[in-house]
Amino acid sequence: MADALCNGVVASPCGRDVAGRARGAARAALAESLQVAGHASKTSFSAGRMSVKDSKPRPLSRSLEAAAPGQMNLSFPKAMRWWKKGLHPNMREVESAQDLADSLLSAGDKLVVVDFFSPGCGGCRALHPKIAQFAEKNPGVQFLQVNYETHKSMCYSLRVHVLPFFRFYRGAEGRVSSFSCTNATINKFKDALAKHGAERCSLGPARGLDESELMALAENRDLHFTYDKPGGLVPLAEAIAKEAAAPGGPWLPLPASLLGQGSDNSLLPSGR
């Protein structure tokens, strides 16, 4: 009987050939024998390869079952942000209003370019490679980047309302230039860099931000910025009068015109 099944020919008592039926039964038995742990198989005897696929869907993990449709987040490595590309040692991003003020004061007589930008500003992004090139060609110039999206409140206090925007600061002169430009008007930036970046002797300590800017930052409650306003200048006549009235005043008499009106003494005590 087994030989007959293998040959595909079976003779029935009635004299009928049931080869086709035997072949079908053999194939069905072989298919049943290939059921593996809930997997159905497809076979090709001529090629000798078998591909296995799930006959039933696999259960999801509890974390995936708990997630509602549309709430599954996929994480991909973030590309480098465009304003961080091509940076040079003389380029860095400002962290706070205090950082900006301190950086300007500590720059000495060095030219400082403050670059106000926004990640979503197309003009800022297009201009960034050229600003990086200027920084590379001018290593003696400090470039400070201010992210508008991160420091909106600070930019509002500094009255920055258009982007891209640049401010140039130089030593004792403080702010020497302020303007907005794009790729089409890049010569404006180039000219300002050549004008204010030339080497020269120091004229005194760095001035940094204007007093009005410092006061605006200090009054902004959203910022952690402190500003101690220096004492006002005393008029010359008043200063001389105070010195003369002090015990052991000046050795030489001073003109009465410098002592103010209503003074009883035209001459000051010599202190002897």
Q: Find the CATH number of the domain harbouring 110.
A: 3.40.30.10
Same domain, 160 and 94: yes
Same domain, 102 and 173: yes
One of 6, 14, 124, 155 is an active-site residue; which one?
A: 124
Same domain, 120 and 204: yes
Mean pLDDT of 112-116: 98
pTM above 0.85, yes or no: no
Percent of the chain with pLDDT over 70: 55
Same domain, 107 and 205: yes
Same domain, 19 and 142: no
- The answer on pLDDT for 267 being more than 60 is no
Tell me, yes or no, whether 127 lies in a domain.
Answer: yes
Tens of pLDDT, residues 171-225: 999 999 999 999 999 999 999 999 999 888 777 889 999 999 999 999 999 998 9
Mean pLDDT of the chain: 75
SS3 sequence of 51-95: EEEECCCCCCCHHHHHCCCCCCCCCCCCCCCHHHCCCCCCEEECC
Cβ atoms of 95 and 140 closer than 8 Å = no
Same domain, 213 and 92: yes
Same domain, 93 and 20: no
Same domain, 130 and 25: no
One of 14, 121, 155, 181 is an active-site residue; which one?
A: 121
Q: How far apart, in whole angstroms, are the C-alpha atoms of residue 166 and residue 111? A: 13
Helix ranges restricted to H, the chain: 2-7, 19-33, 62-66, 97-105, 122-137, 152-157, 186-196, 211-219, 236-245
Tell me, yes or no, whether 267 lies in a domain.
Answer: no
State the pLDDT at residue 200.
80
Tell me, yes or no, whether 123 lies in a domain.
Answer: yes
Residue 98's domain spans which residues?
A: 82-219
Helix 211-219 with 97-105: angle, nearest 10 deg: 160
Same domain, 89 and 187: yes
- The answer on pLDDT for 6 being more than 50 is no
Mean pLDDT of 88-98: 96
Tell me, yes or no, whether 76 lies in a domain.
Answer: no
User: What is the number of domains present in the chain?
Assistant: 2
Q: How far apart, in whole angstroms, are the C-alpha atoms of residue 108 and residue 116? A: 21
Tens of pLDDT, residues 125-150: 999 999 999 999 999 999 999 999 99
Same domain, 10 and 132: no
201 is catalytic: no
